[in-house]
A and B are shown apart, each in its own frame.
Chain A
C-alpha cells in the first residue's frame, strides 16, 4: 500500500516537474515572440510624440519594422506627414524612410527629441498637388499686393502647365524688358509649359513653350528667361530631418520630389 502511494507521489512529482519545466521553457518563447511588436509600437509612439512637437502638420504616421534576425535592430523606420508646412508652401505629403537607422534613444526618451545617429539609407519624398501650388501663388500675390490676377496650374507629365493673366506691374522689370515686344497694354496673358529640375534643395524651371498675349515666345528668349529666373525656388529642410532634394518629377496629380 505504502509502495503504491509513494509510486503515485513520484509520478505526480515528475508530472509537476515536467509542467514547471515546460512552462519555464514555453513562456519566454511566447513573450519574445510578442516583444518586437510591443517594442515597435512603443517606439512609434515615442517618435510620433517627439516629431509632433517639432513639426507642424495635419496628420503624422510613424512605422517601425524591427529586424527578425537581430534583436533590437530597426529594419525600417518610416515617417509620413500630411499637410506639412514647407516654407510658405504646404506639402501634401512628406515621407522620410530610414533603412537600418540607429536612433538616439536617450534623447528620445529623456528630452523627447528625435535624432538619427546613423542609417544605411535615407529616402525623402515630397508630394505637392496643383492645388497647393495655386494656394502658394495666391499667398505670394497677397504678400506682394498683386490684385486682379489669375493663375491656374495643371500637370501634364512631364510638364507643369500654367495659365496666367497678370498685370505687367507684377512682373519684374528685367523680365518685362525681355518680353517688351510681346507686351501690348499693361497685362500679360497666356500659357507656359515648363519642365522642372532639382538640385541641392533648389528647384529650377525650364520653359518648353510660352505664349504671351497670343505670341509664341521664341526659343532664344526662352533660354534667356530660363537663365534669369533660375533657381526659381528653395526647398526648405524640415528639422530635425536632414536631406538634399535632387530629383523632381511631374506626375498626374502631384509634383514628386526626392533626394
Chain B
C-alpha cells in the first residue's frame, strides 16, 4: 500500500519533470531567428477590420500633415513613410473613398455602409461616424 503511494508520487513527479522539459523545449524551439517576427494578427469581423483600417489611414493622414503641413491629395501619397500598403475595404474589396481639401479637412469613407449593417460609416478629421 505504502509502496504503491510512493510509486504514484514518483510517477507524478516524473510527469511534471517531463512536462517542464517539454515546455522548455517548446520555448526553445520557438526562439530561433526565423521566429523574429511580430505576433500574427487575430481574425476580425469585416466591421472591426474596416474601423481598424480607417483609423490607421486617419493616423497616417494626420502624420502626413505633420510632415508636410497639408493633407495628401490621394491615399497613395502615404506610402512608404506612413503606411506600407493602402488597405482595401474588407466588405467591398475595393479602395476606401478619400476626399480632402488638402488644407483643413479630410474624409475617409466606405463605399457602401449597408455591407456592414450601417447607414453611415466614415471618418472625418479624425472623428469616426458610425450609424
Contact = CB atoms under 8 A, between A and B. Distances in A.
Interface of A: 61, 63, 65, 76, 78, 80, 93, 95, 97, 125-127, 156-157, 159, 161, 163, 190-191, 193, 208-209, 211-218, 249, 251-254, 256, 258
Given A208-B38, A214-B32, A93 B83 contact: no
Given A61-B69, A215-B31, A216-B31, A252 B83 contact: yes
A169 to B, nearest CB: 22
Nearest to B32: A214
Given A190-B31, A254-B82, A159 B38 contact: yes
Interface string B56-98: 1001101101110100000000011111100000000000000
A151 B42 CA distance: 28
B62 A256 contact: yes
Given A80-B69, A156-B38, A218 B81 contact: no
Contact of A127 (B27, B30, B38, B67): B67
**Residue among A211, A215, A251, A258 with most chain B CB within 10 A:** A251
A125 B62 contact: yes
Contact of B59 (A65, A95, A249): A249
Contact of A256 (B27, B63, B84): B63
B39 interface: yes
B44 interface: no
Contacts of B59: 249, 251, 256
26 contacts: A61-B69, A80-B66, A80-B69, A93-B67, A95-B69, A127-B66, A159-B39, A193-B37, A193-B38, A211-B35, A214-B28, A214-B31, A214-B32, A215-B28, A216-B27, A216-B31, A216-B35, A249-B63, A251-B60, A251-B81, A252-B80, A252-B81, A252-B82, A252-B84, A253-B82, A254-B81
Give 9 closest A-B pairs by Cβ, nearest first. A125-B66, A95-B66, A214-B31, A193-B38, A159-B38, A191-B36, A216-B30, A256-B63, A211-B31
B104 interface: yes
A217 B27 CA distance: 7
Given A211-B31, A251-B60, A251-B81, 20 more contacts: A65-B103, A76-B103, A76-B104, A78-B69, A80-B66, A125-B62, A190-B31, A193-B39, A208-B39, A214-B28, A215-B31, A216-B27, A216-B35, A249-B59, A251-B82, A251-B83, A252-B83, A254-B81, A256-B59, A256-B66
